[in-house]
Amino acid sequence: MADYKGIKGFKVQVLDSDPPSPIVGQVFYNSTTQILKGIIAGTGAWASGGNLNTARKMLAGLGTQTAAIMASGDTTPPTSGRYTANVESYNGTSYTEVNNVNTGRRELPGIGTAAAGLIAGGYSGTEIANTETWNGTSWSEANDLNEGRANGGGFGTQTAGLYFGGDPADAATTVNTESWNGTSWTEVNNLNTARRSNKGAGILTAGLSIAGTTGSLVANVESWDGSSWTEIADVNTARSQGGGSGTQTSALFFFGNGGSATGITEAWDGSSWTEVADGATARDDIGPASAGSSSLTLASGGGPTKSAATEEWTIPDSATVTFDVS
């Protein structure tokens, strides 16, 4: 059997303190504490973040873990109208009230960043097609979706986005997909499986539509290549109303409803889904940091009643472990 030197090309280092800039795979003996240690890849976990000022569910989330926008949503029982226009900005620590959307609504995706984003569709007593863009300060009306609908998935940027699936006024689910070029929406190739309450991750040329419901919960995932959708590996737990972050090859799908609210979190490596650490509080209809990564994102608000809670997902680059040599 090969020893450490045979594998790594050098002996285990003897140091009088832990290295200030360790690398994954490094093994060393701390002569001060007389402990053998090693550096492993970090493991993801959820931790509490700053609460929303206005508890809500079915909200749009956009941005990253340290710079996010949570817009609109359902404040049932009402605090200032069921379909709130309220918007809050997150700086990585706390939320601050900022300018409202023009049309309060629920069940809509957020696309883009905290400095440049958009929202589209949703429900405000009926399914709507309204699109609004965010410039970091205020919201402006833009060209509508071709089909009014709620509960669809979305990903991309303020000038290059995709909206897919959802719940139009005349049907329970749809396969319709629309592409946004910064000015208008254009119908493009449909999803393979009609669904609503599906979530997205990625960019206009490479993204994912994750799970959802057809009336029955589905685990189905489809990959978008900029032109068409292809069926790929399912998530492990079928559910709707969750959150998505990341890219086509490295994504996170978290929380949701699998018959009841859940904190289940799954990571995608480009070929398969793996269950990782659950959120602390089971929730559905959360606001995700839709421009976040698979290693840094957040989940704010949510149901099944309404919540102001925020949890932050972080995978550290590395972690130091102690080896048992007894």
Q: For the chain, give the percent of residues with pLDDT over 70.
A: 91
- Indicate whether 241 and 263 sit together in one domain: yes
Is residue 157 in a domain? yes
Asked whether 81 and 72 are in contact (CB, 8 A), the reply is no
- Indicate whether 222 and 282 sit together in one domain: yes
Dihedral in degrees, nearest 10, Cα atoms 44, 48, 52, 53: -170
pTM of the model: 0.87
Q: How confident is the model at residue 18 (pLDDT cuts 50, 70, 90)?
A: confident
**Short-list 121, 102, 103, CA closest to 111:** 121
Tens digits of residue pLDDT in 169-213:
999 999 999 999 999 999 999 999 999 999 999 999 999 999 999
- Indicate whether 157 and 34 sit together in one domain: no
What integer is the mean pLDDT of 67-80? 90
Residue 33 has a pLDDT of: 84
Is residue 136 in a domain? yes
- Indicate whether 87 and 111 sit together in one domain: yes
Is residue 56 in a domain? yes
- Indicate whether 59 and 176 sit together in one domain: yes
In whole numbers, what is the pLDDT of the chain averaged over residues? 92
- Indicate whether 12 and 75 sit together in one domain: no
What integer is the mean pLDDT of 58-80? 93
pLDDT at 326 over 70: no
**ω before 20 within 30° of 0 (cis)?**
no
Residue 68 has a pLDDT of: 98
- Indicate whether 20 and 66 sit together in one domain: no
Q: Report the alpha-carbon distance of residue 273 to residue 254 in Å, rounded.
A: 12
Q: Report the alpha-carbon distance of residue 311 to residue 280 in Å, rounded.
A: 8
Residue 321 has a pLDDT of: 64
Per-residue b or e along 285-300, where b marks 16 or more CB atoms closer than 10 Å to that residue's CB: bbbbbbbbbbbbbbbb
- Indicate whether 29 and 101 sit together in one domain: no
Is residue 324 in a domain? no
**Short-list 205, 210, 269, 267, CA closest to 239:** 210
Is residue 165 in a domain? yes
Length of the chain: 326
Structurally, the chain folds into a number of domains equal to 2
Instruction: Give 259-264 contacts, CB < 8 A, sequence gap 24+.
Output: 259/217, 260/304, 261/302, 261/303, 261/304, 262/237, 263/46, 264/237, 264/239
- Indicate whether 279 and 159 sit together in one domain: yes
Is residue 320 in a domain? no
- Indicate whether 15 and 59 sit together in one domain: no
Residue 15 has a pLDDT of: 78
- Indicate whether 37 and 78 sit together in one domain: no
Per-residue b or e along 120-129, where b marks 16 or more CB atoms closer than 10 Å to that residue's CB: bbbbbeebbb
Q: What is the CATH number of the domain that holds 153?
A: 2.120.10.80
pLDDT at 1 over 60: no
- Indicate whether 11 and 156 sit together in one domain: no
Domain extent for 49 = 45-314
Left if phi > 0, otherwise alpha if psi is -120 to 50, otherwise beta: which for 8? alpha
pLDDT at 39 over 70: no
Is residue 326 in a domain? no
Is residue 221 in a domain? yes
Looking at per-residue pLDDT, the higher value among 154 and 26 belongs to 154
Q: How confident is the model at residue 5 (pLDDT cuts 50, 70, 90)?
A: low
What integer is the mean pLDDT of 72-84? 86
Residue 29 has a pLDDT of: 79
Least confident of 28-37, 108-117, 140-149: 28-37
